Amino acid sequence: MQLEKSTNPVTNSQGGVGYAKLSLEILSCADCVGRGKCLIARLHRNIDHKYHLQENRNVIQRDHHIYRADNPAKSLYFIHKGSVKSYIVTEDGDEQVMNFHLAGDVVGLEALGSDKYITSTVALEKTTLCKLPLDYLGNLNVEKPILEVLTQSVIHEQNMKIILAKKDADGRMASFLLFIAQHNANHNQPENHFDLSMTRQDIANYLGMAIETVSRTLRKFRDRGVIQVKRRSIQIADLSVLYQIAGVRISR
Amino acid sequence: MQLEKSTNPVTNSQGGVGYAKLSLEILSCADCVGRGKCLIARLHRNIDHKYHLQENRNVIQRDHHIYRADNPAKSLYFIHKGSVKSYIVTEDGDEQVMNFHLAGDVVGLEALGSDKYITSTVALEKTTLCKLPLDYLGNLNVEKPILEVLTQSVIHEQNMKIILAKKDADGRMASFLLFIAQHNANHNQPENHFDLSMTRQDIANYLGMAIETVSRTLRKFRDRGVIQVKRRSIQIADLSVLYQIAGVRISR
DNA sequence: CGCGACTTTGATCGCCGTCAACAATCGTGG
DNA sequence: CCACGATTGTTGACGGCGATCAAAGTCGCG
């Protein structure tokens, strides 16, 4: 269990000292994996002019929290770079990883319908965030983009439920790798080569299996020539086989 | 797999012929388990005056669908009486039960962020619905109550993920029974005596286990004196033991 | 009354969780 | 830069939970 000081996002790495405050439109988002899909940008025309990306972009280090369960929920966060995990701690002190969020995702959506965060969310590596305080959205007049993001997130949860209810270890692992591959494909990043930012323990917890099974399953995939693994580094040799192993997807 | 004709809600049992159209406020909701919590009532002051509960209340029979996946999503439905299950059909024709919804619940929330329903939803017994076409909400100006219901639904999904990822057969079964007990408690209905409206098959599917295991687990509970079971009828003898078996709950 | 759907019970077996030991890597301070 | 401990990941052996196969029992309904 991670324990450290900062609850609120930490120092602003972009050190905008002396810069004039720039509006989102002026500040370049060209290097962002979320360009064209970023919720903040999509909401921008409806966002109060007080909002300046520059002063709302922060860097947090690995193991530092963005927010914790029960903290007052006031902001959404867009992951510009890096990755985080959100988790819940159960009564008996066990952790349950609810989700991994990679560059391009939004976290803290729970703030929209609750005054407290439900999960705790912590950086898995050095991570850059764009913070969007809810104040900047006109009086909770929620817009289509937000509902769409919420709905996307519900669809992902449903997929996870299918994985947990129906699939064996191989199927879960393959699905997990494909989640990342698909995310990368959707964000102009290599879809068959990436580094995992989370530990085997986190993966096991997320997929509802033992850490040893994660290890063995990856080994099996490697032996079959489906992937190459070296610790955190993953290279997918044959995406189609992985899809086959993952099996069951929603038919639409 | 259920196959029958009607996609749209069927005949109006309340046969309002000759009745003057009544507004929600005039029409009595006193007998409804959802009184005080009904989303429709909470939204009512913001709902267009065209809305008349009388003509939007329908009865559907068992195995009849409220909507199907990919149907254009235009309405929310409030369950006045009865129960439904929502499910998804995977590529290979398998069904996955996503949720059971009992009297007092809202279904079709997916309509808010998508133009198509994601799940199919079918009545488990004779069921009375209050339909709320989205048109009746002013131009998608979504309100707090809706976000709250969405958030509640996300919290429930997260609970299910914990159950599927962490709990064994006993824990899943106990949690399932407690879901119903808690729902009943929240809706002024007996919390330790109820009839299940779904088959063992549906329960097994929902909980990610085999139908035989559902049967055996219930038997085990009965042998231990935790519950009495006779087919669909459940009587909980000792709620606290059930909580103990369910184990892991979210600590808040 | 008889058929079909649902449920229960028993026997068997394999997947995967658990325990244990080892290997590789990282981070930290000397 | 190296040494050391801590963290993370791998591999093997074993056993139990629960899936699967099979069959009989129970209920609802035409």
Whether A77 contacts A131, CB under 8 Å:
yes
Contact A83, A102 (CB under 8 A): yes
Closest nt to A204 (CA→C1')?
C17
Looking at per-residue pLDDT, the higher value among B249 and A98 belongs to A98
User: Would you write out chain A's pLDDT as a tens digit for each of its 252 residues?
Assistant: 333 333 333 333 333 333 334 444 444 566 777 777 777 777 766 666 666 666 778 899 999 999 999 999 999 999 999 999 999 998 888 999 999 999 999 999 988 888 999 999 999 999 999 998 888 776 545 567 788 888 889 999 999 999 999 999 999 999 999 999 999 999 989 999 999 999 999 999 999 999 999 999 999 999 999 999 999 999 999 999 999 999 855 443
Contact status, residue A72 vs residue A66, Cβ threshold 8 Å: no
H-helix segments, chain A? 39-43, 144-166, 169-186, 200-207, 211-223, 239-246
Closest-CA residue to A14 (of A1, A29, A2, A25): A29
Query: Per-residue pLDDT for B249 more than 90?
Result: no
- The predicted pLDDT at position B8 comes to 38
In the predicted structure, residue B120 carries a pLDDT above the cut 50: yes
pLDDT reported for residue B138: 62
Residue B110's pLDDT is 87
Does pTM top 0.95 for this prediction?
no
Inter-residue contact B128 to B80 (CB < 8 Å)? yes
pLDDT over threshold 80, residue B237: yes
Separation CA B144–CA B226 (nearest Å): 40
Q: What is the mean pLDDT of residues B161-179?
A: 97
Q: Is the pLDDT reported for residue B81 higher than 60?
A: yes
Of A92, A94, A150, the CB nearest to B113: A150
Radius of gyration of chain A (CA): 19
pLDDT value of position B163? 96
Query: What tokens were used for A221?
Result: 């995939």
> Which pLDDT belongs to residue B190?
94
CB contact under 8 A, B98 and A158: yes
Tracing tokens 């199927």 back to the chain, one arrives at: A171
Predicted pLDDT of residue A147: 82
Q: Give which of A191, A185, A107, A85 is closest to A153, Cα–Cα.
A: A107
Which runs of consecutive H residues, i.e. helices, occur in chain B? 39-43, 144-166, 169-185, 200-207, 211-223, 239-246
Say yes or no for a CB contact (<8 Å) between B118 and A154.
yes
B74, B8 Cβ separation under 8 angstroms: no
CA B54 to chain centre: 21
Residue of A nearest to B152 (CA): A113
Contact present, A245 and A210 (Cβ < 8 Å): no
Q: Is the pLDDT of residue B49 over 70?
A: no
A201 CA vs C27 C1’ separation (Å): 20
Residue numbers 227-246 of B with CB closer than 7 A to any atom of strand D: 231
Direct distance between the N- and C-terminal alpha carbons of chain B, in angstroms, rounded to an integer: 40
The H or E element that residue B85 is part of is strand B83-89
Please give the structure tokens belonging to residue B251.
Answer: 């600590």
Q: Give B14 to chain A, closest Cα distance, Å.
A: 34
Confidence of residue B106 (pLDDT cuts 50, 70, 90): very high
